[in-house]
Amino acid sequence: MQDTIERSIAINAPLERVWDLVTEPGWWVPSDTPVDSNRGAGAVVVRESEKWGRFPVEVVEVRPMTYAAFRWSPTFPGDDLAPGRTTLIEFTVTPTDDGVSVSVVESGFAKLDAPDSVKAQGIESNSDGWTQQLEALRTQAED
Partner 1 sequence: MKAETVLGALADATRRQVLEVLAAHPGASASALSRQLPISRQMVLKHLGVLQDSGLVRSAKAGREVLFQVQSAPLSETADWLSSLAAQWDSRLADLKSRAENPDVRPS
> Does 53 contact partner 1 by CB under 8 A?
no
Residues contacting partner 1: total by CB under 8 A: 43
> Does 22 contact partner 1 by CB under 8 A?
yes
Q: Residue-wise over 107-118: b if at least 16 C-beta within 10 A, else e?
A: ebeeebeeeeee
CB of 130 to partner 1, least distance (A): 5
> Does 3 contact partner 1 by CB under 8 A?
yes
The residues that bridge with 103 in the sheet, in sequence order, are 8, 92
Q: Of 64 and 123, which CB lies nearer to partner 1 in the complex structure?
A: 123
> Does 18 contact partner 1 by CB under 8 A?
yes
Burial class of residue 126 (count of CB atoms within 10 Å of its CB; 0-12, 13-18, 19+): exposed
Site track 118-137 with partner 1 (rule: CB under 8 A), x = hit: xx-xxxxxxx--xx-xxx-x
Instruction: State how far the Cα of 4 lies from the Cα of 1, in Å rounded to an integer.
Output: 9
CB 61 within 8 A of CB 67: yes
Q: What are the strands of the beta sheet with 4-11, ordered from one edge?
A: 4-11, 99-107, 87-96, 67-72, 53-63, 44-49
Q: Of 12 and 33, which CB lies nearer to partner 1 in the complex structure?
A: 12
Q: Of 42 and 119, which CB lies nearer to partner 1 in the complex structure?
A: 119
Contacts with partner 1, residue ranges (CB under 8 A):
1-3, 5, 7-13, 17-18, 21-22, 27-28, 74, 102, 104, 106, 109-114, 118-119, 121-127, 130-131, 133-135, 137-138
